[in-house]
Amino acid sequence: MTDAIDRLKTALTDRYAIERELGSGGMATVYLAEDVKHHRKVAVKVLRPELAAALGADRFHREIEIAANLHHPHILPLYDSGDADGFLYYVMPYIEGQSLREKLAHEGELPIPEAVRILRDVVDALSEAHDHGVVHRDIKPDNVLLTKHHAVVTDFGVAKAVSEATGAQKLTTEGVALGTPAYMSPEQAAADSHIDHRADIYAVGVVAYELLTGRTPFLGTTPQMILSAHMTDTPEPVSKYRESVPPPLEQLVMRCLEKKAADRWQSAEDLLPHLEALVTPSGGITPTGTMPVDRVAKGRWMTAGAAVAVVALVVALWQPWASEDVAAEGASWAWTILAEVEGSAPEDTRSLVGSLLAGDIDASGSLLTLPQDQILRGLASAMKPDTTSLTQSVARELAERGGIGTVFAPELDLVGGTYALTVRVLHAAGDSVLATERVSAANDDALIPASREVVETLIPILTVWMGGEVRRPRANPPVTSSLAAFRKHQEAQRANALGRYHEAIALFREALAIDPDFAAAWVRMGGAYSNARFRDSAEYAWREALERPERLTEDQRLNLEARLAGDWVARFQRSERQYRETGIASNAYAAALADGMGRYEDAVAIWEQMAEQSPFGTSDFVKWNLASILLCLGRVEEAEAVARRLEGTPRELPVNAKIALRKGNWGEAERLAVDVARDPAMSVRFRSDAIWVLASARAAQGRIHEAVSALHEMIRTNQRPGRELIHRRAHLNLLILTIVGGLTAEAWDLERLQADTTEEARVLSGLWAAELGDTAFARSYLEELPVPEFGEFAPSTHQEATVAALHARVAGRRLDWEEAVRLLAPVTGDRTPRGQLAHTQLLNWVVAEAYEELGHLDSAVKLYSGIADGYRFVFDEVNGFGLTYSFAHREAALLYGQLGQDAEAIEHWRAFLDAFTDPDPEFEWMMEEARVELDRLRRGR
């Protein structure tokens, strides 16, 4: 053994300094080493000699190369691989922590929430690998590393390489734990030559079983006994060994363990949403409307003139917005809490009935159910874990704490094939029952009208008790006649809320296949298409909804008609009237005020009121939005004060990175952005935004190549379905940096962009073509993208603004600068675009260049100065502040110098030099130019 280590050290001496052995497994020995070139700790895995001999270097490198292309926060990356003196090895980061195997050895079965989080991370990694055609084949606790409470999967590609080279059955009989008998799928145990990704799903089931019970499903004294059990024996239910495992989790695990691959979850992507739902339990309801927030003491109404709403996580297309003066006229609302539906009916059915009741209560015009984010904050205030069931007693306790007058306590029983739905309304401050209603339903579908009947009976009773006028609930058209369609709709809503737009669209389609007249599903499928930036498909879905007016409220119908007509003003005015009638303000209205109407201060007022008024403290989402809009306005100190209230939350680091960037603390912004981008606990959106901030900070300092590389990374890591929007955003920012930095345009990954059929992608492809000098190709897009006509109000969508940018850029390539100015002047400078995600930097820079070419230096310098100072950014654009910062200061300094305005020129040269401190060699001349000009101006020319 010593000779082997010495040989290995000698063979790798130029690249890796072997320090000590970390462990040995069935296929490899692991060594801790120092990466000599990069000065970092790594883990060098060396295949066992008999495996290396059977495998051969060529086959090993082919398989390991496939795995090397996997990039995901829950997949341990592959740094290097090679063949040194007969040793086949591969190199990975050294993770300080423990393996899941070590954790199980010390602790046995794990707490259920921790087990589910680990499984979620593993399945997320498998989803990425399977999307790239990589099957792991050896998922087991030994190959799962734990770091900072998250799981990282290692050794992708190795098991496949070994099995195809030598044959799994032969290796197993020789005692090599290929596939590891305890975790092998039946098809692996049978040495089936056609193994696909579903073998990994089975292994996930085995690992889950072990995490929850402390043992694997099948035990035996020999590998052959265990393999036989996998093929023939039915595993005992998880609950036999641990009664506290929730039924949905047990069902999930047992489905993974089905003998036939066709009976399991068919993909990791299918399995992942179910695990994510278990990580953050719903508490029984997920309202989709807006929420009033004034506390209601002792069951009294709150008046809408004093109330504003906290945003719901999912904002419906027809959701009401606030009024122009941030006040409403005469409407009144009250909170209520809807407890989990109890009873003998199946849990899934009870959960759906809870959602039906929540929707009917929220549509009543009198009460709104407390949303999930507030429930969780209430549980925290009561020192209860977030997994606590919202039983009637817990709901009543939270209502008392939050000053909420009532609790709805539903029960659903199934007796002889007939459902009995009973709903009691409890007085939160006492033990009394205010009202009770009981109805029956002959089948699943009958539960839909039964829910409505209960609510319509109870609301007038509660209105009288709470001191309001006697009135019937607000008219609300039937949602659907099919509970099965409603079930798919709810699944789609959850996927949409998680940003899984493609999955949501597929589930909405399934709902509509059951009930083609399900208008709400058509509307929300249009919203999912819109989120994914498939505008044509979104409009088609919304038109289908309008074909079913009997299933839409008047507000829904009018909002859809205005949206399809592109009538931004009508939509906004309608939302104002709606607010005056209902008294509900929303995050959507605040965003519309900021980006639709340019009323940034009014938007801040809305968010500040939201932040102050809610039963259990404002949501992190509202704090995030408030901090973001303050940064857009340049009110950095106020944004910092809001950010301090996000301490300890997932949004803390991302918002601090944006603040550092906006303050010009480039190094701090870069450091924080790297931390966010490398944190597997962060969402895909936060990690992508962090790469954007990273590129921005580097560009401001002059490290343009590193900025470009970061944007390339942002493009490359967001090429999977569902991430098209991030992919396009990265392309846009690379395009902006190319234009402002005067870089040579490169056709980087344009094939995928051109395969994207959305209008935004077509515009970006045209802009890239213009930068590459192919104006004919760029102009080919213009026939299908007519020039928007901008009137009093700026565009309602960012597509319109960028379409104008494409026309203007092509005009500029033809040296028709007057046309470029005519196209973009209405939406630049003080008239900065109003549509969400409007690209202010791109538009202002393009028209500034046109003014400069025309000799209108005053107009050009005003735009460059505005870009440098940070024109009214739309939320996310703050992330790109540094992309144009230094270059805009330089352009402004040069033009002020030409205009003879020396004081302004000096100010911009100083700002440029303060930021542009570490430029790439080819940009160093800009620093010298700045010093020379600054010195000349200080000496009075």
**And the tokens for 635?**
């009110």
Q: For 387-534, where are the alpha helices, taking DSSP H only?
A: 392-402, 447-465, 483-497, 501-514, 519-531
Q: What whole-number distance in Å separates Cα of residue 83 and Cα of residue 234? A: 44
Closest CA to 919 of 886, 875, 891: 886
Residue 229, H or E segment: helix 223-232
Measured at the alpha carbon of residue 508, what is the angle toward residues 507 and 510, in degrees to the nearest 5?
65
| 219 in Cβ contact with 226 (< 8 Å) | yes
Q: How far is CA 433 from the centre of its chain?
A: 42
Question: 453 Cβ partners below 8 Å, 6+ apart?
Answer: 437, 439
From first CA to last CA, the distance across the chain in angstroms is 77
Mapping DSSP to helix (H, G, I), strand (E, B) and coil, where does residue 498 land?
coil
Catalytic residue among 138, 362, 444, 679: 138
Task: Answer whether 608's CB lies under 8 Å from 642's CB.
Answer: no
Angle of helix 600-612 relative to helix 620-632, nearest 10 degrees?
150
Q: Residue 830: helix, strand or coil by DSSP?
A: helix
Residue 326: what are its φ and ψ, rounded to 5°? 55, 45
| CA-closest candidate to residue 879, choices 733, 748, 753 | 733
Q: Please state, in angstroms and rounded to a whole number, the distance separating the CA atoms of residues 537 and 817.
A: 35
Q: Could you give the CA distance from residue 770 to residue 776 in angstroms, rounded to a whole number?
A: 8
The CA distance from 589 to 321, in Å, is 4
Contact 720, 131 (CB under 8 A): yes
CB atoms within 10 A of CB 707: 25
Cα separation, 570 vs 406, in Å, equals: 37
Contact 859, 828 (CB under 8 A): no
- Give the largest CA-CA distance in the chain: 97
Q: Angle 492-493-499 (CA atoms, 0-180°, nearest 5)?
A: 90
Query: Which tokens in the block code for residue 940?
Result: 């009075």
Rounded Cα distance between 789 and 794, Å, is 9
**Residue 628, C-beta contacts closer than 8 angstroms, at least 6 positions apart:** 639, 655, 658, 875, 878
Kindly state the helix (H) or strand (E) to which residue 364 belongs, with its residue range.
none
- The phi-psi region of residue 518 (left if phi > 0; otherwise alpha if psi is between -120 and 50; otherwise beta) is beta
SS (H, E, C) 760-813: HHHHHHHHHHHHCCCHHHHHHCHHHCCCCCCCCCCCCEHHHHHHHHHHHHHHHH
Bridge partners, 593 (sequence order): none
Residue 310 in tokens: 């906290």
- Identify whether 138 is a catalytic site residue: yes
**Do the bridges between strand 98-99 and strand 144-147 make them parallel or antiparallel, or are there none, so unpaired?**
antiparallel
Give the DSSP H or E segment for 825. none
Which residues participate in catalysis according to the annotation?
A: 138
